[in-house]
Every structure is written in structure tokens, then in C-alpha cells.
Amino acid sequence: MLNFFRKNKQEDGEENKKGNESAVDASELFEEVDEDASGEEVETPLSLHPDWKLDEEETYVYRFINNENPPLKPNQISLAGYELKKISKDVAVGAFVRHSLPKPISFQSTTIVLMKEDGQKLARKEFDLSEAGELPPTSSRPHPFIFKKKDLLVPVEEIPQDGWRLAFELKKKKTEHSLDLDESWEKSMAEEDISKLEKFVGRLKSPKTGEVNFMSVKAHQTDNEDLHITMLIRNGSEKNIELQQVPLQVEDASGEIVAQGGFNLENFEVKANTSKPWTFIFPSSMLKKSEVDLSTFKAYPIQK
């Protein structure tokens, strides 16, 4: 590994400026963390990559700069920037990769962003951080991050010499699937019944990411023989969806189609990663059989 950063002045005479630090919980990047960690802060002594060949003075400078970094909290991983240099149309950044885990860690491909203090992203790139090697327990290792022109999100002239930081771009975790009750249902249902429905939805396997499906829940006929079909409309996407029309078909225990029709919905929204129950009513005049066996049944949208 090459050491791109020497702690002196840039070729153009501008002094390199130190960036800010950004830390994340180790669980955001690694599955195994130290669950027994105490609340005590953790020092992260300098660890140089074995391929770096530095003289005594250079090692002293890195150790001195690293000692300025504050202790980490337990189970943290941090990027502490110490140098930014513009090389033609590229931007080279030096940062200490730090962690407070009591065991060695190794990274894989990881997306890193360069940003301003206010959060504006300046550059973004996926780095193969396995090149940083295995970091000893509770250690801090300097590593270069080179952003090419194609990785920059703003012109290189707009990259500030100070007031910047590097950060891990974390993958958004899928929100836990939950119950979405219409206001009319909330007002009419008992708290106990709502709780049961919440537990029922919680036990179900979540829809695939981006999938919207319908699940039959309950079917019964009223005294006037209208057919009531309760469905769960399950939204597995990260966005709210709005339904305007639902064409439904119902089969009874015999496997015969007993009801078929389209339902117009007004202002019917299903929030992201939720299941919303709704009852669709088929008037008796729409039924295709006089006697309907609902010991088992299937209800599903009609595919056009």
C-alpha cells in the first residue's frame, strides 16, 4: 500500500486542513458486536498498515495527529479526516479508520461520501476497504481515499479545504412491516381487537421489497345474504401507494366463482411497509350461487 499523505505543505503552498469526524454504531456495518461492552470510552492507538514503510519522523507525525482524536464510545466505527488535497481534477483525502471493538475487524467494499458540515454531499465512491488490511482491536489506521473526477458531485473548485468530513453511506434498513388502520376502523374497533390484528400482521412473513399483494382474512354472509370479504392489502414498498379501483373475485369451498366485481375507492392510501385491512361487500344480487360454502374460500384481484 502506498502512503499518499505526507504531513507537510501541499505542492501549491496551501496547508492541508483537517476534516471532521463521523462515527456510526458497529452494528450498521458488522453483524457481530460486543454486547457485553461497558459504557467506558475507548482509546484507539495508531496502527499502520504493514506495507507502509515510514521513517521514524513520519510515524511520529501520524501518531501525534491520531492522538488528537477523541476516544470512541463502545461499538463504534469512525472516519476521522486529517488531510484533503486537490490533485488536478481529483480529490485525495486521508482519514483514520477507527473502531472500538475488542477484536480485529476487516472491511469489504464500502461506499464512502465526502460532505460538508451541513451534510451536502460533495463526492461519493465505493471503496475496496479490504486494502486497509485487518485492523487490530480498538485501533486507528490511516488510509487514503481518492475521489476521481467522475466521483465528484460538485466541481472540484467547490470542494472546501476545511469544514468537510468523510462518512459511511449506510444502507437503509427496511422498516418493520406493521398494521395500517383506516381512521374509521380505529374508531369502531375495540382496543383488544386492534391488538389481535397487530399481532396477526406481525406474525406474517413480510411482502417482498416493492411487492403489493392481497391476503384473504375473513368471509361471511349477513342476514340479507350480502357477502362481506375482508382482505389485507399488503404494501411491501418503501413508498405509500394509493388505490382507486380493485377488481375482486371470490371462490367458495367448491372452487367455483361465487362473486365477481369492481370496487371504486376514494382517498384510499396504504402506507409504506404496512398491511391495511378492508372489507369489500358484494350485494346478494351479485352472487352467482344461491348457496355459498364459506368453510374455505379464496378472494383475489382479477388479473386484466
pLDDT beyond 90 at 8:
no
Core vs surface per residue 189-226: b (16+ CB within 10 A) or e: eeeeeeeebeeebeeeebbeeeeeebbbbebeeeeeee
Q: Can you give the pLDDT at residue 9?
A: 40
Q: Does residue 210 share a domain with residue 153?
A: no
Last residue of a domain, one of 144, 168, 192: 168
Q: Does residue 15 sit within a domain?
A: no
Q: Does residue 271 sit within a domain?
A: yes
Q: Does residue 162 share a domain with residue 102?
A: yes
Last residue of a domain, one of 168, 189, 205: 168
- Which of the four pLDDT bands, split at 50, 70 and 90, describes residue 5? low
Q: What is the pLDDT of residues 11-52, one digit of tens each?
A: 443 444 567 899 999 888 887 666 666 678 999 999 999 999
Q: Does residue 276 share a domain with residue 189?
A: yes
CATH number of the domain where residue 258 is located: 2.60.40
Mean pLDDT of 194-221: 91
Q: Can you give the pLDDT at residue 190?
A: 87
Q: Does residue 289 share a domain with residue 210?
A: yes
- Tell me which residue of 52, 142, 45 sits closest to 97, measured CA to CA: 142
Q: Does residue 136 share a domain with residue 193?
A: no
Q: Does residue 173 sit within a domain?
A: no
User: Cα(136)–Cα(11) distance, rounded to whole angstroms?
Assistant: 34
Q: Does residue 154 share a domain with residue 200?
A: no
Last residue of a domain, one of 117, 136, 168: 168
Mean pLDDT of 174-202: 87
Q: Does residue 161 share a domain with residue 68?
A: yes
pLDDT beyond 80 at 178:
yes
The count of structural domains within the chain is 2
Q: What is the pLDDT of residues 262-295, one digit of tens each?
A: 999 998 999 999 999 999 999 999 999 889 999 9
Indicate the length of the chain as a whole number.
304
User: Is the Cα torsion angle 104, 109, 110, 112 positive or negative in sign?
Assistant: positive
Calculate ∠ Cα 128-132-135, nearest 5°. Answer: 130
Q: Are strands 76-87 and 164-168 parallel, antiparallel or unpaired?
A: unpaired
Q: What is the pLDDT of residues 70-83, one digit of tens each?
A: 999 999 999 999 99
Q: Does residue 160 share a domain with residue 253?
A: no
pLDDT beyond 90 at 238:
no
Q: Does residue 189 sit within a domain?
A: yes
282, 294 in Cβ contact below 8 A?
Answer: no
User: Is the Cα torsion angle 145, 150, 151, 153 positive or negative in sign?
Assistant: positive
Work out the mean pLDDT of the chain and round it to a whole number: 89
Q: Does residue 155 share a domain with residue 51?
A: yes
167, 29 in Cβ contact below 8 A?
Answer: no
73, 45 in Cβ contact below 8 A?
Answer: no
Q: Can you give the pLDDT at residue 11?
A: 42
Q: Does residue 162 share a domain with residue 182?
A: no
Q: Does residue 9 sit within a domain?
A: no
pLDDT beyond 50 at 1:
no
Q: Does residue 107 share a domain with residue 34?
A: yes
- Which of the four pLDDT bands, split at 50, 70 and 90, describes residue 2? very low
Q: Does residue 203 share a domain with residue 78?
A: no
Mean pLDDT of 209-214: 91
Q: Which domain holds residue 184?
A: 178-301
